[in-house]
Amino acid sequence: MADAASGGLAAEKAALRRRLMADRTRLGPDQRAAAGRALRDAILELPQVQMAGTVAAYYSLASEPGTHGLVYALWKRGSYVLLPLLRPDGDLDWASYEGPDSLRPGPRGLAEPGEPARGLGAVARADLVLVPALAVDRSGVRLGRGGGSYDRALARVGPGIPTIALLYDGELLDEVPAAAHDQRVRLAARPSAGITRLPVAAGGAKIRAAD
């Protein structure tokens, strides 16, 4: 019975991933670039970001909302930026970003820092964590690509640390299918809507820069 339920959940997640990925591939380069700029500006305005000494981020690829400009801006204004290193077992180590020239090709098309690895626990020392996602629901459940890397990383992040999923418009859903190991995020960023605190409270949850 448990195996059947688990199989049904996996199939439901896979179908939702296929739909979301198809929607993303229909976006043109100009739309993706505009979304990346809007997300960058919204995130840089957050007081939590402005006060963060260390930010665990990620370097976007393919159809993901662009983060290259955001990562560069965080680094230029003095934040210590960590980017993930994908380990053979699927877990995430971390290393410092020292500008675009510090990156090297990594597995699965990723760009990774060439700096020394800081260990799996480095994400736990970040003041703020930026997270890739295909979708997030209004309770904070995140749908990733299915590898489980960020579920393991987020499990190491303390309850008071802002975790922000970067989305396109239309990817904050009413409900995302979830298993017990799926980690929630605390904020969602969208190009048109800005930053939303999760779970969504009655009356709306858009965060102003002064909040």
Q: CA dist 79 to 86, 115, 126, 143, Å?
A: 22, 16, 10, 28
Single pTM value for the model: 0.90
pLDDT, tens digit, for every residue of 159-176?
999 999 999 999 999 999
Contact present, 123 and 157 (Cβ < 8 Å): yes
Give the residue-averaged pLDDT of 142-163: 94
pLDDT, tens digit, for every residue of 60-102?
998 999 999 999 999 999 999 999 999 999 999 999 999 999 9
Give me the CATH code for the 2-197 domain, please: 3.40.50.10420
Query: Does residue 209 carry a pLDDT above 80?
Result: no
For the chain, which residues make up each domain, given as ranges? 2-197
Query: Does residue 201 carry a pLDDT above 80?
Result: no
